[in-house]
Structure formats: structure tokens, C-alpha cells
Amino acid sequence: MCRAASLRAIQLCQSTRGAEHAVLEPLFFNPLCPSLSWEEIKYMFLFADTAKVAFSYASGLYGNFGPHSSDVTVVFRKKITDVGKAFSPITGVFTAPRRGVYYFRFSLLGHSSSHRLAVCLYKNEKKILDVTKYPKGQYKYAIGGVTLLLWKGDHVYIKLRRRSQLYDNSDNHCTFSGFLLFPM
């Protein structure tokens, strides 16, 4: 409530002065919300019109996935967080809603004694990151993270490499997350 009231005060100030002439000074603090710092108010103003994009999904699997005779897209169906609705739990693909710099992270678990755990992160059709682990019957994670400049409509997804296997259960060991750092 405090943040919304302070943001509204900033928007009123901006609309009366014009965006190019808006001068925000401490006098625009909401007196009902003394807990907000001047830096928080400036941050809220700078990002008030920025589209919010953040997602985190787990696989929703219970047991093994793979091996397959070819690379397959890993579909993450169990929603943890989805702000902006840019990730599809049907296809497993993130579609950038706007141009910007995004951060992506994945964590996948394997424990097969006979199959590797090999996964790749793709941007459109291009492999960006490749992580391989050899569990040999132990629990091993393939973890990766990357920052990407994306154009509106670009796709980011995870593929399980052929002859690879991952494992998950209700503890959400296999996750894929991403968020917009800043628009461009």
C-alpha cells in the first residue's frame, strides 16, 4: 500500500511536469510511508513502466526421463513462479516478450549408473551452454547459468541430449528459471 501510494505520487508529479522535466525531490515522499527511502522511490520511478518478467518451473516428473535416441526439449510443467507469462509449460520454451538482457539458470539431476546427464541451453536454434555429468549411480547435478541479450520473440529452452537421462521427484530437483535484468 505504501509503495503504491508513493508510486502514484511520483506518477502525478511526472504527469504534471512532463517526463523530460520531472524533478523528484524528497518532498514527494508519502508522509504515511516514512519507511521508504529516497533510493527506493527513485528505483520505483525508474522501473514503473518496465514489463516484469520472471519465471521458475520444475519438471513435474516423478522418476526418470530418457534416454532418447535424439535430443529432446525438456518440458517444465510445475509452476513455481511465472510473472509475465513468457514461459510455456506446454512446450518448455521461454519467448522474450521484449528486447532486453535476461538471466537464465537451470539445475537438473541425474543418478543413472548407465547413462550420462547431458543438457544444453539453446537460444533459438543455437547451442549456448552444454553441461555433462556422469552420475555412475550417484546423484549428480548439471547446473548452468547465462546472461543473454534477447530480441522480442527470441526463444530459450533446455534440451536433454540423446542417450542421456535425468531424474526428478516431488522435491523439484530439476528446475529452469529466468528473469529480465533490464530492457534495452
Give the percent of the chain with pLDDT over 70.
73
Q: Is the sign of the CA dihedral 64, 68, 70, 76 positive or negative?
A: negative
Q: Are residues 38 and 82 in the same domain?
A: no
Q: Are residues 40 and 58 in the same domain?
A: no
Q: Are residues 40 and 62 in the same domain?
A: no
DSSP 34: T
Q: Are residues 22 and 64 in the same domain?
A: no
Global confidence as pTM: 0.73
Q: Are residues 162 and 100 in the same domain?
A: yes
| Residue 169 backbone phi and psi in degrees, to 5 | -150, -165
Q: Are residues 78 and 109 in the same domain?
A: yes
Structural domain including 166 reads 54-183
Q: What's at 166, amino acid-wise?
A: L
| Residue 106 backbone phi and psi in degrees, to 5 | -135, 155
Question: Taking all residues of the chain, what is their mean pLDDT, rounded to a whole number?
Answer: 83
Question: How many distinct structural domains can be found in the chain?
Answer: 2
Give pLDDT tens digits for 121-151. Answer: 999 999 999 998 988 888 999 999 999 999 9
The H helix count followed by the E strand count for the chain is 2, 12
Q: Are residues 18 and 72 in the same domain?
A: no
Decide if 159 contacts 119 (C-beta within 8 A). Answer: yes
- Please report which confidence band the pLDDT of residue 178 belongs to, taking 50, 70 and 90 as the band edges: very high
Q: Are residues 103 and 37 in the same domain?
A: no
